[in-house]
């Protein structure tokens, strides 16, 4: 029998409609229904009488987050841990994002989940945001493009994706109450833009409104945002759900076109809240919520629901293709590694004797914590990856580290469980090797590698302190000793950054001969690390986010808001000058600029031509591999607007493309389209493209512009 949505709506009672808009409650609480998929973040309510099943919703951006273990069940339910989103963005590779999306989508489907609560597409406004690792970039175009490809991949599997957190959720401090004050121009050009791009290109099934307020109103209670902009202007036709327990008024949420309230039963956690169903019912009885509103919200949810595996009765296997997806995770990680510095050091020749330092070789960080966490079958740490790949690692030193880390964790640095069952992991000391030993290892090896790790997660922002944004004293002291010892003997010293978001690098970057940024690369970490340092893989990642010289240079001075001890309001007073838009316009030199990343080979750009085709400026040029290793290059197009009525940043990213793997001497013809409409600025009322001469700048980074052309718009 066909499922006729209108007929079903007409058969639903008012109470059924209302309860349908509210999730079943947090699945881990004893009074709520037992979860269909253990570890999933939420479920919607089934209405059996009408043949409506519930939907299962689960996180997250670096891989499906479900519990790997179930009671009285021998089977395991692991999902692949992919590189964190920032690292995925560092690939600048749409095809790869699509592939990662397909792989995650298959796991979602085969584990009985309907909607993946990803991608997260907030902007890297400040390096200290605790969830930056879950977001792609400081740039809206790169973010939107990465998200669109990822969503296409996920949804190609017949499950839904969810763009989150809509919108201006760029910090964790007081995220559930903070009021974000932002101009409409910055909102539209920077923060809404990635949502707009991904929605128009990839039609995600769902959007998640954020926790915070936007200019005084919770985003989940903001009709202008959820109806006027999202649906009327952009044509979004999927469903909007709240973030978990967001907002303060269920009736307002429903009135403001927030279709689904998740996870439901908020009062079970937040004692001051009343049951959503009661709040909505009362508003209905007062006539504030009409039948038409209820029908509209129910219809929107049902339209998504009928596409889900749950509705179709899909017989999921609980056996996703984890082996295949491990390869995708590895491939994505390899392309996201960014080589920040390299003075005749990397790649290491096959027989190089390597001394690996830092506890991060054992406790390698695959990703961040919170809802973006993953539970893979394994994580290959840097040490094991290097050994597996046959690198010539100093095994005495390696065993020393293994023993040291296990002793630390057994005694003074025991890992405990937090309030939510999360691991609390005390930071390990680093400076515990004697100078004699350092000397010994420096003498008998060819290169010293020191690993710096950082982890952050949902709920708290990072700290402007030693051990977080800055190096800890013991990290600096051991690095100085290692640097001196290795260099004294004419050996190289390399630093590997296993981090999710920028740290301060300027003060110590001269201590080393190479810096490799491997981010938080997921379960294949060690393999990725080994293959990149040995040159089996030529790094081709570029920074999706600026590494500032000093924290004081960061434009978002108001982060995380006022008053300082308990921020209630955060004013985005840097306006549109976020990331490189600020550093370039105000001539502040970063440590490593947006779009930057070295390669083991070199690329030459030539033959720039511009022509018009319909609404697009078509930019063509050639990229040639002029070095002697195969490699890929990310070509970036920045546009510099003429001086007009509206203030413009020095330049803005308007297009990019990654080459295929180019052989030495090989050339690729590139064609990148820049829609004229994408040059528009929001002048407070509408989008305006000013006439005049635009500079089309083709570069290997935002500050390494190789070709410049002019294009006149009149």
Catalytic residue numbers, as ranges = 243
Q: Least distance (Å) from ligand BGC to the CB of residue 115? A: 10
> Using CB under 6 A, which residues numbered 272 to 301 contact ligand BGC?
none
**Which is it for strands 42-43 and 115-116: parallel, antiparallel or unpaired?**
unpaired
HEC assignment per residue over 500-560 = CCCCCCCCCHHHCCEEEECCCCCCCHHHHHHHHHCCCCCCCCCCCCCECCCHHHCCCCCCC
Dist. CA 535–CA 547, nearest whole Å = 25
Nearer to ligand BGC among residue 43 and residue 243 (C-beta): 243
> Using CB under 6 A, which residues numbered 92 to 121 contact ligand BGC?
117
Dist. CA 10–CA 19, nearest whole Å = 16
Q: Least distance (Å) from ligand BGC to the CB of residue 159? A: 15
Does 373 bind ligand BGC (CB under 6 A)? Our answer is no
Q: Least distance (Å) from ligand BGC to the CB of residue 59? A: 5
Residue 256's contacts (CB-CB under 8 Å, 6 or more residues apart) are: 220, 221, 222, 223, 225, 226, 227
Nearer to ligand BGC among residue 264 and residue 699 (C-beta): 264
Q: Least distance (Å) from ligand BGC to the CB of residue 5? A: 27
Give the x/- contact pattern for ligand BGC in 553-592, rule: CB under 6 A: ----------------------------------------
Does 172 bind ligand BGC (CB under 6 A)? Our answer is no
Does 164 bind ligand BGC (CB under 6 A)? Our answer is yes
Nearer to ligand BGC among residue 131 and residue 193 (C-beta): 131
H or E stretch at 312? helix 309-312
The CB-side HSE value for 543 (13 A sphere, CA atoms) comes to 29
- Considering only 126, 266, 300, 371, the residue that binds ligand BGC (CB under 6 A) is 371
> Using CB under 6 A, which residues numbered 56 to 85 contact ligand BGC?
59
Does 154 bind ligand BGC (CB under 6 A)? Our answer is no
Residue 463 gets the label, from left (phi > 0), alpha (psi -120 to 50) or beta, of beta
22 forms bridges with which residues in the sheet?
A: 261
Dist. CA 458–CA 171, nearest whole Å = 9
Nearer to ligand BGC among residue 3 and residue 420 (C-beta): 420
Q: Least distance (Å) from ligand BGC to the CB of residue 85? A: 12
Dist. CA 55–CA 117, nearest whole Å = 12
Give the x/- contact pattern for ligand BGC in 348-367, rule: CB under 6 A: --------------------
Would you give the DSSP letter of residue 678?
A: G
Give the x/- contact pattern for ligand BGC in 453-482, rule: CB under 6 A: ------------------------------
> Using CB under 6 A, which residues numbered 643 to 672 contact ligand BGC?
none
- Are 681 and 687 in contact by the 8 Å Cβ rule? The answer is yes
Q: Least distance (Å) from ligand BGC to the CB of residue 287? A: 33
Nearer to ligand BGC among residue 253 and residue 659 (C-beta): 253
**Could you tell me which of 498, 503, 494 has the C-alpha nearest to residue 533?**
494
- Considering only 9, 21, 26, 41, the residue that binds ligand BGC (CB under 6 A) is 41
Residue 344 gets the label, from left (phi > 0), alpha (psi -120 to 50) or beta, of left
Nearer to ligand BGC among residue 240 and residue 525 (C-beta): 240
Nearer to ligand BGC among residue 212 and residue 445 (C-beta): 212
Q: Least distance (Å) from ligand BGC to the CB of residue 371? A: 4
Q: Least distance (Å) from ligand BGC to the CB of residue 91? A: 22
**Could you tell me which of 376, 355, 626 has the C-alpha nearest to residue 493?**
355
682 forms bridges with which residues in the sheet?
A: 687
Residue 49's contacts (CB-CB under 8 Å, 6 or more residues apart) are: none
- Are 138 and 579 in contact by the 8 Å Cβ rule? The answer is yes
Q: How many residues touch ligand BGC (CB under 6 A)?
A: 7
- Considering only 133, 135, 244, 441, the residue that binds ligand BGC (CB under 6 A) is 244
Per-residue burial over 478-507, b if 16 or more Cβ lie within 10 Å, else e, is bbebbbbbbbeeebbbbbbbbbbbbbbbee
In angstroms and rounded to an integer, the radius of gyration of the C-alpha atoms of the chain is 26
Residue 587 gets the label, from left (phi > 0), alpha (psi -120 to 50) or beta, of left
Dist. CA 185–CA 340, nearest whole Å = 33
Does 243 bind ligand BGC (CB under 6 A)? Our answer is yes
Assign 679 to helix, strand or coil: helix
Q: How many CB atoms lie within 10 A of CB 152?
A: 21
- Are 572 and 125 in contact by the 8 Å Cβ rule? The answer is yes
Nearer to ligand BGC among residue 16 and residue 43 (C-beta): 43
Q: Least distance (Å) from ligand BGC to the CB of residue 132? A: 13
Tokens of 577: 């000058």
Q: How many CB atoms lie within 10 A of CB 706?
A: 18
Q: Least distance (Å) from ligand BGC to the CB of residue 263? A: 7
Residue 677's alpha-carbon distances to 268, 332, 610, 687, in angstroms, are 48, 31, 16, 9
Q: Least distance (Å) from ligand BGC to the CB of residue 367? A: 14
Nearer to ligand BGC among residue 159 and residue 478 (C-beta): 159
Return residues touching ligand BGC (CB under 6 A).
41, 59, 117, 164, 243-244, 371
């Amino acid at each position: 029998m066909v499922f006729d949505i209108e007929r079903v709506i007409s058969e639903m009672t008012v109470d059924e409609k209302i309860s349908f808009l509210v999730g079943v409650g947090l699945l881990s609480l004893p009074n709520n229904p037992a979860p269909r998929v253990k570890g999933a973040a939420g479920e919607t309510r089934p209405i059996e009488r009408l043949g409506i099943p519930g939907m299962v919703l689960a996180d997250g951006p670096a891989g499906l987050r479900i519990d790997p273990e179930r009671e009285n069940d021998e089977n395991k339910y692991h999902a692949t841990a992919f590189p964190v989103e920032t690292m995925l963005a560092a690939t600048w590779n749409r095809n790869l994002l699509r592939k990662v999306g397909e792989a995650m989508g298959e796991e979602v489907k085969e584990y009985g989940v309907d909607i993946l609560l990803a991608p997260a597409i907030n902007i890297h406004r400040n390096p200290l945001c605790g969830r930056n690792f879950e977001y792609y970039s400081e740039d809206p175009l790169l973010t939107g493009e990465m998200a669109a490809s990822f969503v296409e991949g996920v949804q190609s599997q017949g499950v839904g994706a969810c763009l989150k957190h809509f919108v201006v959720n760029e910090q964790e401090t007081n995220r559930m109450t903070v009021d974000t004050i932002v101009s409409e121009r910055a909102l539209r050009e920077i923060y809404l833009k990635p949502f707009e791009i991904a929605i128009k290109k990839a039609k995600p099934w769902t959007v998640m409104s954020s926790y915070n307020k936007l200019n005084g109103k919770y985003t989940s209670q903001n009709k202008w945002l959820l109806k006027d902009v999202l649906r009327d202007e952009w044509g979004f036709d999927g469903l909007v759900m709240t973030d978990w327990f967001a907002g303060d008024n269920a009736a307002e949420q429903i009135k403001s076109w927030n279709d689904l309230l998740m996870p439901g039963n908020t009062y079970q956690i937040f004692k001051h809240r009343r049951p959503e169903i009661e709040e909505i019912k009362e508003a209905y009885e007062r006539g504030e919520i009409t039948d038409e509103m209820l029908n509209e919200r129910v219809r929107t949810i049902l339209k998504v629901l009928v596409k889900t595996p749950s509705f179709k009765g899909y017989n999921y296997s609980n056996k996703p293709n984890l082996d295949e997806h491990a390869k995708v995770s590895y491939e994505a990680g390899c392309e996201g590694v960014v080589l920040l510095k390299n003075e005749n050091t990397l790649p290491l020749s096959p027989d190089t004797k390597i001394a690996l330092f830092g506890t991060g070789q054992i406790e390698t960080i695959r990703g961040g914590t919170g809802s973006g966490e993953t539970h893979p079958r394994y994580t290959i740490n840097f040490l094991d990856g290097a050994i597996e790949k046959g690198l010539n690692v100093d095994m005495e030193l390696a065993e020393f580290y293994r023993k040291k880390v296990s002793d630390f964790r057994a005694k003074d640095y025991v890992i405990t469980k937090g309030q939510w069952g999360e691991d609390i992991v005390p930071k390990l000391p680093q400076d515990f090797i004697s100078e004699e030993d350092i000397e010994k290892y420096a003498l008998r090896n060819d290169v010293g590698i020191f690993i710096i790790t950082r982890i952050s997660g949902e709920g708290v922002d990072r700290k402007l302190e030693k051990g977080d944004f800055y190096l800890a004293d013991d990290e600096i002291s051991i690095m100085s000793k290692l640097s001196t010892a290795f260099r004294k003997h004419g050996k190289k010293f390399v630093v590997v950054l296993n981090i999710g978001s920028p740290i301060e690098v300027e003060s110590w970057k001269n201590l080393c001969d190479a810096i490799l940024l491997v981010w938080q690369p997921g379960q294949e970490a060690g393999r990725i690390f080994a293959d990149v340092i040995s040159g089996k893989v030529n790094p081709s990642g570029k920074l999706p986010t600026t590494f500032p010289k000093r924290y004081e240079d960061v434009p978002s001075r108001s982060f995380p808001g006022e008053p300082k001890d308990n921020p209630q309001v955060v004013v985005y007073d840097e306006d549109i000058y976020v990331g490189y838009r600020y550093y370039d316009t105000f001539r502040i030199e970063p440590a490593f600029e947006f779009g930057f990343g070295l390669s083991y080979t070199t690329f030459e750009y030539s033959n720039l031509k511009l022509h018009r085709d319909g609404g697009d400026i078509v930019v063509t040029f050639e990229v040639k591999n002029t070095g002697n290793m195969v490699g890929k290059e990310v070509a970036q197009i920045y546009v510099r607007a003429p001086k007009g009525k509206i203030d413009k940043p020095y330049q803005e990213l308007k297009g990019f493309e990654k080459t295929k793997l180019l052989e030495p001497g090989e050339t690729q013809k590139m064609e990148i389209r820049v829609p004229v409409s994408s040059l528009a600025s929001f002048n407070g009322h509408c989008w305006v493209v000013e006439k005049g001469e635009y500079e089309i700048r083709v570069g290997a980074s935002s500050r390494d512009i190789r070709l410049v052309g002019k294009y006149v718009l009149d």
